[in-house]
């Protein structure tokens, strides 16, 4: 099982849910089977009692689960059927741990955030990721996990710690972190500012998670010098790779070029600029 974690920084409401859904669409188009998990750090056990004016759409799943609006995006984008367990909340995790403590499952040990809460989060993710949601048998190939809230929020700290441990638990080759961050443009100057994203990534790294990719939200596409600056200060590479036309893996690409060697831009830093319709986001990612 491969895991893709989507986090958000600087401000809330950047579109992490649409980004996670769109990543799933691109992976599904490559022939992979996808499942999704949404982590909400709030203490509510579900979104059913929360005001849609404050929180947004309350989406009702086939099993009656009242969940966050992002699970509605997952189902609509990926054509899958999720369950209430695909939505993890702080309330659900603490409730399950307290129930186990009351039943004596911890054998009298002191129950703590680390390791009991963090282990419960990791176990929940692994268990739910193995449940098929596309009508086929067997587990999916990739699980896209979205961490709600903004990096630095106190309520998301146990999840950050758990996911940092989880990245080592599953191995580096099975875990990819995509950080969605804001690159604002000051109208007076007309310049794309990287400092908010720099601070966000620095905070994320300080908590034990290092992003593999940056999905930068901006009003327009990032300029190349801005990407290079982000790469330098956020330690996220923007690579140029050279491939030989004798490499069979790239036969289809080679058919499009005449030269013996060609350059392929590997965009670890990409722009999700404002579009008129969220269904355009998978096209930007492609």
With contact defined as beta carbons under 8 Å apart, do 11 and 18 qualify? no
Q: Is 104 left (phi over 0), alpha (psi -120 to 50) or beta?
A: left
pLDDT tens digits along 11-67? 888 999 999 999 999 999 999 999 999 999 999 999 999 988 888 889 999 999 999
pLDDT tens digits along 211-245? 999 999 999 998 889 998 999 899 887 765 554 54
Domain count, the chain: 1
What CATH code is carried by the domain that includes residue 81? Answer: 3.40.50.300
pLDDT tens digits along 113-145? 999 999 999 999 999 999 999 999 999 999 999
Q: Using N-to-C axis directions, what is the helix angle for 224-234 and 195-206, rounded to 10°? A: 30
With contact defined as beta carbons under 8 Å apart, do 180 and 15 qualify? yes
Give me the pLDDT at residue 263, please. 42
Distance CA 224, CA 99 (A): 53
> pTM for the full model?
0.87
With contact defined as beta carbons under 8 Å apart, do 163 and 41 qualify? no
With contact defined as beta carbons under 8 Å apart, do 9 and 236 qualify? no
Residue 16's domain comprises: 2-283
- For strand 87-89 and strand 34-40, is the pairing parallel, antiparallel, or unpaired? parallel
Neighbours of 248 (CB within 10 A): 6
Encoding tokens for residue 277?
């319709």
């Amino acid at each position: 099982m491969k895991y893709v974690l989507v986090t958000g920084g600087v401000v809330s409401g950047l579109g992490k849910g649409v980004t996670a859904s769109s990543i799933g669409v691109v992976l599904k188009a490559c022939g992979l089977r996808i499942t999704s998990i949404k982590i909400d750090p709030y203490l509510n056990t579900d979104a059913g009692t929360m005001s849609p004016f404050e929180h947004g759409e309350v989406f009702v799943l086939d099993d009656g689960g009242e969940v966050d609006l992002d699970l509605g995006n997952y189902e609509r984008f990926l054509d899958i059927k999720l369950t209430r367990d695909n939505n993890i909340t702080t309330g659900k995790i603490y409730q399950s741990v307290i129930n186990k403590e009351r039943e004596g499952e911890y054998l009298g040990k002191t129950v703590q955030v680390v390791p009991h809460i963090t282990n419960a989060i990791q176990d929940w993710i692994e268990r739910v990721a193995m449940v098929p949601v596309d009508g086929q048998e067997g587990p999916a190939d990739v699980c896209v996990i979205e961490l709600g809230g903004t990096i630095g929020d106190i309520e998301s700290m146990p999840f950050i710690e758990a996911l940092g441990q989880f990245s080592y638990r599953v191995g580096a080759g099975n875990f990819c972190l995509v950080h969605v961050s804001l690159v604002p443009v000051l109208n007076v100057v007309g310049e794309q500012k990287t400092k908010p994203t720099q601070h966000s990534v620095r905070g994320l790294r300080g908590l034990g998670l290092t992003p593999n990719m940056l999905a930068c939200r901006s009003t327009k596409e990032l300029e190349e010098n801005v990407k290079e600056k982000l790469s330098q200060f956020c330690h996220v590479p923007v690579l140029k790779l050279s491939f030989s036309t004798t490499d069979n893996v790239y036969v289809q690409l080679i058919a499009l070029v005449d030269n013996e060697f060609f350059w392929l831009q590997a965009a670890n830093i990409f722009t999700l600029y404002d579009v008129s319709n969220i269904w355009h986001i998978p096209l930007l990612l492609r």
